[in-house]
Amino acid sequence: MPMSCHGALQELRQGVHLTVALAGNPNVGKSSIFNWLTGMGVETANYPGKTVEVQLAETRYGDRTIGIVDLPGTYALGGISEDQWVARQALLDTRPDAVVLVLDATNLARNLYLGLQILDLGLPMIAALNVVDQAEARGIQVDAQRLGEILGSPVVPTVATRGTGLDALMARVMDRVSHPAPLPPRLRYSVDVEAAIGKLERGLASRDDRPHALSPRAIAILLLEGDPEIAAWLAGLEDADELVELRDEMRAVLREIRGEDAALLLARERHGLSGLIAAEVERRQPPRALTADRLWRLATTPITGLPLLGLVLAGIFSFLFYVGDWLSTGFSSLWTAVASPVIRWPFVTLLGDGVLARTLLWGFDAGINAALAVGIPYVLTFYLLLALLEDTGYLNAVAFLTDQIMHKLGLHGRAAIPLVAGAGCNVPAIMGTRVLGSMRERIIASTLIVLTPCSARTAVILGAVSLTAGWKAALAIYAVTFALALLTGIGMHRMLPGRGTGLVMEMFPFRRPGARAILKKTWYRFYHFIAVATPIVLGGSIVLGGLYETGLLWLLARPLRPVMEGWLGLPAVAGLTLIVAVLRKELALQLLITLAMVRYGPQASNLLSFMRPDQIVVYALVNTIYIPCVATIAVLARELGWRRALLISTFTIALALLVGGAAREILAWLAG
């Protein structure tokens, strides 16, 4: 779970030579720059009561250690939404030595608004003018030097997915940090606004107790905007009556002269300045026809987009089926032939062939073999495909394409993105529901995500069902879970009070992904998967082995017989693996394979000597539907509350037992 953001930021600052914050709008390439700068040691943190997270990492440049703070993607700094509040607060708490503002060169005017707010805070800024290759392809040329002169900040053209310009960017960051002299504001508001700022600035100049060590000008602007934190600071001062009166007077004067609230006036003028700056530094020519634009139209037009979506899903399934099967067989065979004899020798030599040696070999031999046969072939492969879909922008097209379907479930099209991401891991997908407009939508979306087969459950489906009952049976499990999710969504939409909220979603064009960025994102996810899963697999396998070798396994399995054998038609011992799999879903298959190999030998790794194909189908179906893993339950509780998390978990258990029993009867009828 994420740590406290304020404490994490202070700890980060104390352990590094300097701190750099990354800021930018969503989908501008900020994550690509963060991934390029950092390695595996990435942590997340959030503020109490807030669910939006900040990523923290350390990197080295020359002989200096740099703390990197990756702020949430946001269009502005303020208190309108959680991402805005968190980005603003993290900037103020960190007081970074430099802020790298990532700008989308294809949409400069919109991006500059955030940059103007950062400059208003008096923070040293360097701009990364990203995706300049795409801008040029669209006939847009940006004069980076002139833009830097206007902003009073260095501007470095970059193509983050290829690493182009990032070395130059870091060099400019280090140069800016080495010469920290404050620059006078290059950008000015209208005469009326500047007059109000100036009067407040003079009233604040003598105070040395300004929050976050902000400049008098920054405090003056925040007072005019009605910033809650600065207003609370002012209200807590004993000698601020004149300053309060001056603030109220300046806001009243601006309202009288300009006819609108000071906060709205400042926002309007920032937008105007952003547009004027963009117009001055941009040179536009008629864009040439781009393949990416043609593909976007094909992907978002229903008559072509839906068949294309079907092909993409079929391609993912086929890739996982064939490549995953090949890798699984290869890893398992290699382990059995090479690693297993080497690992078994010291245990048998030192401990003999007794209960202790056999118990430990459950984990260090059969357990690792099972983990390799499931984790790398299916989980790693799926993470690679998911990163490819994310970085090309195809998930955004899916959201647009499925908007009407989502509305029938009481959701907005944007919900399609966390739902698809849930096929990788339910935990970040549930956190991704924060983009939805109401708690009602988040409850519906989170429930549907829980019913979405994640990569761990996909590993069970493909690693067990497809290899024993065939690809059609595996595909049928996906079809059943999709139908259950659809019916659940429709039912919740009709039963839950309230209705969906409107939401405007920005569309982003297809982009050519960078191989380095995709591989790094894939490895980062898989690394954390392995770091968490390996100890659990080893520990779970050893515990299961100890129970088996001492005969306690069958004693513990006995209470499960009425449900497992009587209702689901499965071996009672399989119920124990389902219970342990609440820790991580792929453990169900890994422990079942471990149990089979120990009991029946290495040839039992395909499970057919342990269970019939129809039993494996029922087993995988129940594992896919029933109670989510503990990490998912924990994030459900954090996002929705414990009561809702327990209700969703109980619902999935009941649904899994109902569907599993029905599947047993249907399969028996089809077979007989």
Between 57 and 630, name the one with better pLDDT: 57
**H/E run at residue 21:** strand 18-24
Q: What pLDDT score was predicted for residue 4?
A: 54
Give me the DSSP letters along 342-395: HHHHHHHHHHTTSHHHHHHHIIIIIIHHHHHHHIIIIIIHHHHHHHHHHHHTHH
Rg for the chain, CA atoms, rounded: 29
Q: What does the pLDDT look like over 392-450, one tens digit per residue? A: 888 778 878 877 788 888 887 777 777 877 777 777 678 778 767 678 888 999 999 99
Reference 144, options 284, 22, 280, 281; nearest CA is: 281
Instruction: Give the model's confidence band at 219: pLDDT under 50 very low, under 70 low, under 90 confident, else very high.
Output: very high
Mean pLDDT for the stretch of residues 626-641: 80
Domains along the sequence of the chain with CATH? 3-178 (3.40.50.300), 191-284 (1.10.287.1770), 300-671 (no CATH)
Q: What is the rounded distance in angstroms from the CA atom of residue 632 to the CA atom of residue 2?
A: 14
pLDDT cut 90: percent of the chain above it: 26
Q: Which of 32-46, 267-281, 323-337 has the highest mean pLDDT?
A: 267-281
Q: What pLDDT score was predicted for residue 658?
A: 95
| Residue 309, CA distances (Å) to 300, 313, 314, 372, 394 in order | 10, 6, 8, 31, 10
pTM over cut 0.75 = no
Reference 296, options 32, 516, 73, 512; nearest CA is: 512
Q: What is the rounded distance in angstroms from the CA atom of residue 663 to the CA atom of residue 617?
A: 8
Q: What does the pLDDT look like over 95-147, one tens digit per residue? A: 889 999 999 999 999 999 999 999 999 899 999 999 898 888 888 999 999 99
10 Å Cβ neighbour count for 619?
Answer: 28
10 Å Cβ neighbour count for 510?
Answer: 19
* Nearby residues of 168 by Cβ (< 8 Å), 6 or more positions away: 156
Q: What is the rounded distance in angstroms from the CA atom of residue 546 to the CA atom of residue 482?
A: 38
Q: Report residue 90 as tokens.
A: 């993290």
Strand, coil or helix: 445: helix
User: Residue written as tokens 């209705």?
Assistant: 499
Instruction: Give the model's confidence band at 223: pLDDT under 50 very low, under 70 low, under 90 confident, else very high.
Output: very high
Q: What does the pLDDT look like over 345-381, one tens digit per residue? A: 888 788 877 778 888 887 787 777 766 766 677 777 8
CA 621-625-627 angle, 5° bins: 135
Per-state percent for the chain, helix, strand, coil, to nearest 5: 70, 10, 25
- Torsion 32-38-42-48 (CA) sign: negative
Q: What pLDDT score was predicted for residue 110?
A: 92
CA 148-154-159 angle, 5° bins: 100
Q: Report residue 314 as tokens.
A: 């079929």
Q: Report residue 582 as tokens.
A: 């609440």
Between 523 and 39, name the one with better pLDDT: 523
Instruction: Give the model's confidence band at 281: pLDDT under 50 very low, under 70 low, under 90 confident, else very high.
Output: very high
Q: What pLDDT score was predicted for residue 48?
A: 44
Q: Report residue 647 as tokens.
A: 């209700």
Strand, coil or helix: 237: coil
Q: Is residue 424 within 8 Å of residue 320, measured between CB atoms?
A: no
Q: What pLDDT score was predicted for residue 191?
A: 92
Q: What pLDDT score was predicted for residue 251?
A: 92
Mean pLDDT for the stretch of residues 316-335: 77
User: Residue written as tokens 């073999």?
Assistant: 369
| 100-109, 301-310, 330-339, 653-662: least confidently modelled range | 330-339
Q: What pLDDT score was predicted for residue 340?
A: 80
Between 282 and 638, name the one with better pLDDT: 282
Please write down the HEC assignment for all residues of 596-645.
HHHHHCHHHHHCCCCCCHHHHHHHHHHHHHCCCCHHHHHHHHHHHCHHHH
- Residue environment code for 149-188, b if the CB has 16+ CB neighbours within 10 A, otherwise e: ebbebbbbbbbbbbebbbeebbebbbebbeeeeeeebebe
| 76-90, 187-201, 613-627: least confidently modelled range | 76-90
Q: What is the rounded distance in angstroms from the CA atom of residue 44 to the CA atom of residue 427?
A: 14
Q: Is 165 left (phi over 0), alpha (psi -120 to 50) or beta?
A: left
Instruction: Give the model's confidence band at 163: pLDDT under 50 very low, under 70 low, under 90 confident, else very high.
Output: confident
Q: What pLDDT score was predicted for residue 277?
A: 94
Q: What pLDDT score was predicted for residue 660?
A: 93
Q: What does the pLDDT look like over 294-319, one tens digit per residue? A: 887 888 888 888 888 888 888 877 78
Residues forming beta bridges with residue 142, ordered by sequence position: 282
| Residue 51 exposed, middle or buried by CB count within 10 Å (0-12, 13-18, 19+) | middle
Q: What is the rounded distance in angstroms from the CA atom of residue 61 to the CA atom of residue 173?
A: 11
Residues forming beta bridges with residue 24, ordered by sequence position: 102
Give residue 547's identity as a one-letter amino acid code.
L
What does the mean pLDDT of the chain come to? 82
Alpha helices in 465-514 (DSSP H): 466-468, 471-495
Q: What pLDDT score was predicted for residue 47?
A: 43
**H/E run at residue 64:** strand 64-70
Q: What does the pLDDT look like over 572-611, one tens digit per residue? A: 778 878 877 776 677 777 777 776 666 655 555 557 777 8
> Does residue 158 have a pLDDT over 90?
yes
Q: What pLDDT score was predicted for residue 49?
A: 46
Q: What pLDDT score was predicted for residue 537?
A: 67
Q: What does the pLDDT look like over 515-525, one tens digit per residue? A: 777 887 788 77
Mean pLDDT for the stretch of residues 163-181: 85
Q: Is residue 69 within 8 Å of residue 56, measured between CB atoms?
A: yes
Reference 471, options 331, 664, 318; nearest CA is: 318
* Nearby residues of 182 by Cβ (< 8 Å), 6 or more positions away: 122, 215
Instruction: Give the model's confidence band at 290: pLDDT under 50 very low, under 70 low, under 90 confident, else very high.
Output: low
